[in-house]
């Protein structure tokens, strides 16, 4: 169990083991949860599956990203639930249940960093660490009304963390407020190599509004854009992708599944674990991908990166809904959940394909539930992107 009363099923039921942290530092006084794919000394790394947990010995060392937070004074509270092998956006784990989304209890929390988002949204910790491959920080942040970041690819060490699709995997985190979020960012990110600068311009893709799933979501989006324009000036509306976002989605999905099977295929074949049907389907899809298909998708990825880089330049941010609408209801049937996931990934895949930082801010509300709005910035502009977020949230 965690070192706090777990009211939302956010934490894995490990035996409590104290983890040393610095008595002083920039994060002194803050508590954190850690997704159970990061190594923490004294704890197994369960990766969202009982068999992985059973096979894992207590770790002798802590993942460097987590150790940096401990060294900065943050206090570890517990390891948080996640979807099986991090291969889902929903937060529904057939083995451990579904963490409660405190911002919308009748809706899913999002995944795969479900427990981390749930713990922060419920106020059980000040911030929590997750990982983001396809959207596993950004989607739950949007669903739970939190600030979340997918950083520039490769900016934060993933040593001591379970891989899913290495060319997409990143370390991310959640907080309820932008100031706490920025404090964590100072520790994890260091200094920007390419800060945005003062004259930031915002770029609004025509396709973004078209991704919103309801009339109410489309009504909620413009007021959020107004808050952003107070910090960036008028947004420039552009056509982002001639061939449609579905093409980019399939580019992402092919590469992700191919890499995921490369990482986990041998373990799946040898151990034959009991997986949720949707997770199993994604690995099975990876088995059908030929190497030449993966190579073709990688070439297409370069085109996507070139297109977005040209649109935003060195001082622009792409402004999009983080996901197409509020979190789906817990009662949503599996086919509808999969359909929403596909539509969400059409937005979420943009930053992943390009390796760019994406900050999601809780700027809108639809049907009484949160909806995040995102800023995608140039590579290595993460800290200044967070500072832009601070100005927007203050406006």
**Which one from 113, 114, 116, 136 is the annotated catalytic residue?**
136
Structural tokens at position 208? 């973004």
Q: Report the distance separating Cα 177 and Cα 59, nearest Å.
A: 32
Classify residue 194 as left (phi > 0), alpha (psi -120 to 50) or beta.
beta
Catalytic residue at 266?
no
Positions of E strands within the chain: 31-35, 75-80, 127-132, 147-150, 170-175, 201-205, 236-238, 316-321, 358-366, 369-376
The counts of H helices and E strands in the chain are 12, 10
In degrees, to the nearest 5, what angle opens at C-alpha 152 toward C-alphas 310 and 301? 50
Q: Report the distance separating Cα 372 and Cα 328, nearest Å.
A: 14
Catalytic residue at 302?
no
**Which one from 52, 88, 92, 112 is the annotated catalytic residue?**
112
Q: Report the distance separating Cα 68 and Cα 55, nearest Å.
A: 27
Catalytic residue at 112?
yes
DSSP, res 314: T
Of residues 367, 99, 383, the one with CA closest to residue 375: 383
DSSP result, 29-55: T-EEEEETTB--BTS---TT-HHHHHH
Question: Taking the CB of residue 134, how many other CB atoms lie within 10 A of it?
Answer: 27
Q: Indicate which residues carry an active-site annotation.
A: 35, 112, 136
């Amino acid at each position: 169990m965690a070192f706090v009363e777990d009211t939302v099923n956010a934490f894995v039921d490990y035996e409590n083991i104290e983890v040393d942290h610095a008595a002083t530092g920039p994060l002194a006084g803050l508590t954190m949860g850690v997704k159970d794919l990061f190594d923490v000394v004294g704890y197994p790394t369960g990766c969202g599956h009982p068999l992985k947990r059973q096979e894992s010995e207590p770790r002798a060392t802590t993942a460097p990203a987590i150790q940096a937070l401990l060294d900065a004074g943050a206090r570890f509270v517990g390891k948080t639930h996640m979807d099986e092998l991090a291969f889902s956006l929903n937060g529904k784990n057939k083995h451990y249940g579904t963490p409660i989304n405190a911002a919308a209890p009748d809706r899913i929390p999002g995944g795969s960093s479900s427990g981390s988002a749930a713990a922060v949204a419920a106020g059980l910790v000040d911030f929590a660490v997750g990982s983001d491959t396809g959207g596993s920080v950004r989607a739950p942040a949007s669903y739970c009304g939190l600030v979340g970041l997918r950083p520039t690819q490769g900016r934060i060490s993933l040593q001591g963390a379970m891989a899913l699709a290495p060319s997409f995997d990143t370390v991310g985190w959640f907080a309820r407020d932008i100031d706490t979020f920025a404090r964590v960012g100072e520790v994890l990110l260091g200094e920007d190599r390419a800060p945005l600068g003062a004259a930031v311009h915002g770029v609004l893709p025509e396709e973004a509004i078209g991704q919103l799933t309801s009339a109410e979501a489309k009504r909620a989006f413009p007021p959020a854009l107004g808050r952003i324009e107070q910090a960036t000036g008028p947004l420039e509306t552009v056509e982002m992708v001639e061939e449609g976002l579905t093409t980019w989605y399939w580019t992402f999905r092919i590469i992700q599944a191919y890499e995921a099977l490369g990482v986990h295929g041998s373990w799946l074949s040898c151990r034959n674990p009991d997986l949720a049907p949707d997770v199993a389907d994604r690995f099975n899809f990876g088995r059908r991908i030929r190497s030449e298909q993966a190579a073709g998708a990688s070439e297409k990825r370069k085109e996507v990166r070139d297109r977005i880089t040209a649109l935003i330049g060195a001082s622009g941010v792409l402004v999009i809904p983080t996901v197409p609408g509020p979190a789906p209801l817990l009662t949503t049937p599996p086919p509808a959940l999969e359909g929403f996931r596909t539509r969400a990934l059409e937005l979420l895949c943009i930053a992943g394909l390009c390796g760019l930082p994406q900050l999601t801010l809780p700027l809108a509300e639809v049907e009484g539930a949160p909806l995040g709005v995102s800023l995608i910035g140039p590579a290595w502009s993460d800290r200044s992107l967070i500072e832009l977020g601070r100005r927007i949230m203050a406006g």
